[in-house]
Amino acid sequence: MKKHTVRVHPSADNLPRENQLAWHIASFAANCGQLDADVVEMIACRIVDNASVALAAINRAPVAAARAMALAHPRKGGGTVYGLPAQVRVDAEWAAWANATAVRELDFHDTFLAADYSHPGDAISPLIAVAQQMGLDGAALARGIAVSYEIHVALVKAISLHQYKKDHVAHLCPATTAGIGAMLGLPTETIFQAVNQAVHLSFSTRQSRKGEISSWKAYVPGFSGKLAIECIDRAMRGEASPSPIYEGEESVLAWMLGGPDSRYDVYLPADGEAPRGILETYTKAHSAEYQAQALIDLAIELSAQIGDLSKVKSILLETSHHTHNVIGTGANDPQKSDPEASRETLDHSIMYILAVALEDRKWHHVDSYTRERARTPSTVALWHKIRTVEDPEWTRRYLDADPAKRAFGGKIVVTLADGTTVTGERAVADAHPNGAHPWAWPDYVGKFETLTRGALGDGERQSFLAAAKGFAGLSSKALDGLIPALPTGAVTPSKPTGQGIFDRGLE
């Protein structure tokens, strides 16, 4: 790994591009080393993970709307769309839009937490779409996905966006862009220009994850993937972009992040080094914000010890700064205690999540979020007895530089009406690499089987799993198998609530 110290430079410095972070990102993308077998295996797991949650969400309104928009942009030889036959092809950027929205909708795929938050698997859909449209093979796709993960993980470790209330798409988009460049085998100069544009255009505020959280949360990775494809396309045509994009005196560090005196140390592999960042990431066993994963496991375990939940007087969650302030009472969002709140808000309310997990002793990606479930009087009563506090030790563990020591859970203290307490703590989710049951290929297969058994026949499921497991050896034509189709009639009409601009002329 090489350390790149990033800081603001006045324009008079005329900072050489070879000293700019965007150039370092591009140089690694253009010159990454051979992939290790365990990295390729984990990419296969994440392809399965994405397909599992996308197909489970296929008929939800945001996914149907995104699909309708994509279908208005047909293209012979374009990308395929989750749930639809392979002969239905759309422009790659619109396939990315529809497929990434489907993957993100249930908040049920992979994550990486460090100085900031991220869902690195959001890059997989745009990368597959570009590979399909450009006729690339599985080996090229593997390289692109590995590079995207590597850069995404490096940025998330080094630069906190949330501290300055910026959304994590600002790391996702340049990472996806660099991955596409690596997959296409583009030179450093071209990837550099595309990354500059991606960073310039991808900064947005955290309001998308605050207050009344809307369906835009599901669309963000589709927007990012679509933008990344357009950035690469423009750079391939020889066009330049604003630079220095991170270090300029009126650019990202100076005005979007820590200001003119800020400094960040970003560690990237040297040219020719193998990307291994994906192995530091982890997926979800439960459909909820990642910081709730360990706490759902813990709540299910504690529920039997508590017994009669009506006897609970109060519940205190001692946890990290991030968990307290993003999904806990520290967020100061009244919507997180509102039974009429959106699903997107409920899956970012640890108070709601703990109440349901304690009552049901399980978690379900649909049943745990129904309007009837949220309105249940006993749930509301328990929900409103829960509060969170930051414990500096949990914050320290959350940010530990050693992946083996990082902790994303907390301690739950349940006080009963008679004054007795029931306590427990969980550092990481059971499915985490350091957890009680670290997930490997069989677990991802199990998730796929659970989420798709009612929609796909045995033959179709086995065909997809075989394609995913051997994806790195697939020909360009065989990449279609990575975006499974559902039987005729299983995908609802793609105009769920009304028509948009793109529908005009399609009647």
CA 397-403-408 angle, to 5 degrees, is 40
The confidence score (pLDDT) of residue 495 equals: 54
CB 180 within 8 A of CB 29: no
Biggest distance spanned by C-alpha atoms of the chain: 73
DSSP string, 17-80: GGGSHHHHHHHHHHT--PPPHHHHHHHHHHHHHHHHHHHHTTTSHHHHHHHHHHHTSEEEEEE-
Q: 229's torsion region: left (phi>0), alpha (psi -120 to 50) or beta?
A: alpha
Six token digits for residue 59? 């008929």
Cβ of 479: how many Cβ atoms within 10 Å?
Answer: 24
Residue at token pair 């990486």: 112
- Collect the ranges in the chain with pLDDT lower than 70: 209-211, 213, 493-497, 507
Query: Which single residue is written with the structure tokens 């530990």?
Result: 400
For the chain, helix (H) and strand (E) counts, in that order, are 18, 10
pLDDT score recorded for residue 462: 96
Q: What is the pLDDT of residue 210?
A: 66
- Other beta carbons less than 10 A from residue 3's beta carbon: 9
pLDDT by residue (tens digit) across 127-175?
999 999 999 999 999 999 999 999 999 999 999 999 999 999 999 999 9
Burial class (CB in 10 A: 0-12, 13-18, 19+), 317: buried
* 197-227 pLDDT tens trace: 999 999 988 787 666 767 888 899 999 999 9
The pLDDT, as a whole number, for residue 496 is: 56
Report how far apart, in Å, the C-alpha atoms of 287 and of each of 306, 323, 451 are.
24, 16, 12
Say what the pLDDT of residue 142 is: 98
* DSSP secondary structure string for all residues of 336-368: GG-TTS-HHHHTT-HHHHHHHHHHHSS--TTGG
Closest CA to 49 of 111, 110, 113: 110
In the numeric block, the tokens 């994963």 are attached to: 293
Helix ranges (DSSP H) in 106-187: 124-134, 138-158, 169-184
Mean pLDDT of the chain: 95
Which pLDDT belongs to residue 493? 62
- Residue-wise pLDDT for 307-366, tens only, equals 999 999 999 999 999 999 999 999 999 999 999 998 889 999 999 999 999 999 999 999
Residues in the chain: 507
The whole-angstrom separation of Cα 52 and Cα 50 is 5
Q: Are 300 and 362 in contact (CB under 8 A)?
A: yes
Please report, for residues 81, 183, 235, 354, the alpha-carbon distance to residue 132 in angstroms, rounded to integers and kept in the order given: 11, 12, 20, 42
Burial 154-169 (b: 16+ CB within 10 A, else e): bbbbbbbbbebebbbb
Token pair, residue 459, equals 């033959």
pLDDT computed for residue 497 by the predictor:
64
Q: How far apart are CA 426 and CA 78, in angstroms?
A: 46
